Amino acid sequence: MAMQGKVTTHKDYPIPETMKAWVLGDPGELTLADKPVPSPGKAEVLVRIDAVAICATDLEIIHHGPPAQIHGGDPFNKNFTPGHEYMGTVVALGPGVDEYAIGERVTVEIHAGCGQCKRCREGMYTSCHNYGKNYGDVDKGHRANGFTTDGGFAEYAINSVNTLVHVDDSMSDEEATLVVTAGTAMYGLTELGGLVAGESVVVTGPGPIGLLGAAVAKALGAQPVILTGTRDNRLEIGKQLGADHVVNVRKEENVVEKIRELNGGKGVDYVVECSGAPQALNEAAQMVNRGGRICLAAFPGSSPEVDIAYLVRNNIYLYGIRGEGKTATHRAEAFMRQKRFDATLIHTHTFQMEDLPEALRYAKDRVEDAIKVVVKNKHAEAQRVAAE
């Protein structure tokens, strides 16, 4: 065990001085470049990135900029590496770190809050009041990998110990990249909704978060779990993940009536809105019973009129969630470890890191109906074989 200026490394996990990383230039332009391997500071570890999943938000960032924010502005031409849904192996420990060991497999949350503001102290680090004020002009300790600091389309990344989730050896690298997606669904249901077994849930939109939202709701004991969407093949995957009923909104004349019919003639307790469809909020309001709760997990492209009077009259609660707060990811990993649902059903394609542009094309254009596209690092595989 070597100590390099308080950074702990291990001979079985040699760390090069430079690494390959994809760098964002102009909108939509990625170049594979050499970057120095970063060094972990206090309460940080260096993660060798073994696999990374592509998220719709990555595509937003690469082509449009927000919600990434580098030095207070758009991320273009700032030597920035996107990507945030990654897992890997701990290969170096920052000063004083004893929570994790070198060689441990981990998956990562995106957000490390500043730990000082009101929201962070409440455990709502995805709502950190110092979001974006880090490693630029003002160092407030907040970082969101792939959003405000370098992310995972690379060979190595720095992570705060607070963002790490231990991954069971029974879980493949590909499955481990999906833990955070399940964690986002978990955050919406358990933290904001207070879901208890036997309550009814509608999930709208069978994208990755919606599909795993149905899975998590069922694992928590919800009854019934109803998934709505426009693609039959995705709705079928939802059934395999635990949805009791699926509704294709294009084939149903009155979706709200159908939902009520499937729930014994009354509105449901919760709606988790993952579609981002223009009228999604108004339809969700019609789906829930009085006093019900709606969790908003998608970013709609436009801002349609909302029937606020209906929400008020019916005492309906509305929540927005950002990412995977309040350590919900740890609970999601526990469900996946117990095989309460098979998250790998949403993993459809795998590419090597050097083929990232093609992997992004599959995700963006939904080639071969891609849902979750995972990118793997060859160097990780080579090092693993050498270590064994």
Q: DSSP letter string over 153-192?
A: SBSEEEEEGGGEEE--TTS-HHHHTTHHHHHHHHIIIIII
225, pLDDT greater than 60: yes
Quick one: 27 and 72 in the same domain? yes
79, pLDDT greater than 60: yes
Q: Is 388 exposed, middle or buried (0-12, 13-18, 19+ CB in 10 A)?
A: exposed
Q: What angle do CA 206, 209, 215 make, to 5 degrees?
A: 80
Determine, yes or no, domain membership for 364.
yes
What pLDDT is recorded for position 128? 92
Report the number of distinct structural domains present in the chain. Answer: 2
Quick one: 229 and 86 in the same domain? no
Q: Is 338 exposed, middle or buried (0-12, 13-18, 19+ CB in 10 A)?
A: exposed
Quick one: 278 and 373 in the same domain? no
Tens digit of each residue's pLDDT (9 = 90 or more) over 191-207? 667 788 999 999 999 99
2, pLDDT greater than 60: no
302, pLDDT greater than 90: no
Determine, yes or no, domain membership for 371.
yes
Determine, yes or no, domain membership for 139.
no
What pLDDT is recorded for position 379? 76
Give the model's confidence band at 273: pLDDT under 50 very low, under 70 low, under 90 confident, else very high: very high
Determine, yes or no, domain membership for 238.
yes
d(CA 374, CA 353): 9
8-state DSSP, 197: T
Quick one: 13 and 154 in the same domain? yes
Give the rounded percent of residues in the chain with a pLDDT score beyond 70: 95
Residue 54: give its domain's CATH number.
Answer: 3.90.180.10
d(CA 351, CA 345): 17
Quick one: 90 and 225 in the same domain? no
Quick one: 381 and 277 in the same domain? no
Quick one: 66 and 152 in the same domain? yes
d(CA 192, CA 169): 31
Q: Which domain holds residue 157?
A: 2-110+145-166+342-387
Q: For the residues 322-330, what does the mean pLDDT come to?
A: 88
d(CA 139, CA 223): 46
Quick one: 98 and 18 in the same domain? yes
385, pLDDT greater than 70: no
Q: For the residues 22-51, what does the mean pLDDT come to?
A: 97
Determine, yes or no, domain membership for 160.
yes
Quick one: 153 and 13 in the same domain? yes
Q: Which amino acid is at 128?
A: C
CA-nearest of 161, 144, 18, 152 to 94 is 161
Would you tell me how many other CB atoms lie within 10 Å of the CB of residue 371? 19
The H or E element that residue 255 is part of is: helix 255-262
d(CA 21, CA 218): 39
Q: For the residues 108-123, what does the mean pLDDT come to?
A: 92
Helix axes 208-219, 179-186, angle to 10 degrees: 60
Give the rounded percent of residues in the chain with a pLDDT score beyond 90: 84
Residue 251: give its domain's CATH number.
Answer: 3.40.50.720
d(CA 160, CA 40): 9
Determine, yes or no, domain membership for 122.
no
Quick one: 285 and 353 in the same domain? no
What pLDDT is recorded for position 135? 59
Determine, yes or no, domain membership for 161.
yes
Determine, yes or no, domain membership for 140.
no
Tens digit of each residue's pLDDT (9 = 90 or more) over 141-168? 888 999 999 999 999 999 999 999 999 9
Quick one: 315 and 208 in the same domain? yes
Quick one: 204 and 313 in the same domain? yes
d(CA 31, CA 18): 16
d(CA 158, CA 242): 36
Q: Is 289 exposed, middle or buried (0-12, 13-18, 19+ CB in 10 A)?
A: middle
